[in-house]
Amino acid sequence: GNSVTQMEGPVTLSEEAFLTINCTYTATGYPSLFWYVQYPGEGLQLLLKATKADDKGSNKGFEATYRKETTSFHLEKGSVQVSDSAVYFCALSGGSNYQLIWGAGTKLIIKP
């Protein structure tokens, strides 16, 4: 069945460091891929998405490229800020009901 695996956290970085959070998936067909973010005390928010191979999703300085050959959708940001501290979830959408299949989440801590 479909599944998503993302790197375990917490990931701790200093402000202005480069960020990569790895995400790989297993799926039949051609799923859409998503990154959601959950800030402390808030609900999940869609950060970015990609709907087909080689698409790049981007938002708020974050980017992720849909790599079909490596079944990956790694999240990157060139220079992180303290305000980026949150939990990041990778997810895929597939099947007839387009249901989301989620990774376990990666907690990101940015220190000033």
Partner 1 sequence: EAGVAQSPRYKIIEKRQSVAFWCNPISGHATLYWYQQILGQGPKLLIQFQNNGVVDDSQLPKDRFSAERLKGVDSTLKIQPAKLEDSAVYLCASSLGTAGEQFFGPGTRLTVL
Minimum CB separation of residue 108 from partner 1 in Å reads 15
In the three-class reduction of DSSP (H, G, I as helix; E, B as strand; rest coil), residue 27 is classed as: coil
1 binds partner 1 (CB under 8 A): no
The closest alpha carbon to 77, from 6, 16, 18, 11, belongs to 18
Residue 9 has what DSSP assignment?
Answer: S
Per-residue tokens: 13: 């970085």
Q: Quickly tell me which residue has 């990154």 as its tokens.
A: 35
Instruction: Select from 12-20, 54-62, 74-82, 89-97 the region that touches partner 1 (CB under 8 A).
Output: 89-97
Nearer to partner 1 (CB atom), residue 10 or residue 61: 10
Per-residue tokens: 89: 């979830």
Rounded to whole angstroms, the Cα distance separating 58 from 1 reads: 28
Per-residue tokens: 41: 């005390």
Minimum CB separation of residue 15 from partner 1 in Å reads 26
Nearer to partner 1 (CB atom), residue 5 or residue 17: 5
Instruction: Select from 20-28, 42-50, 53-61, 63-71 the region that touches partner 1 (CB under 8 A).
Output: 42-50
**Residues binding partner 1 (CB under 8 A):** 4, 41-46, 49, 89, 91, 93, 97-100, 102-105
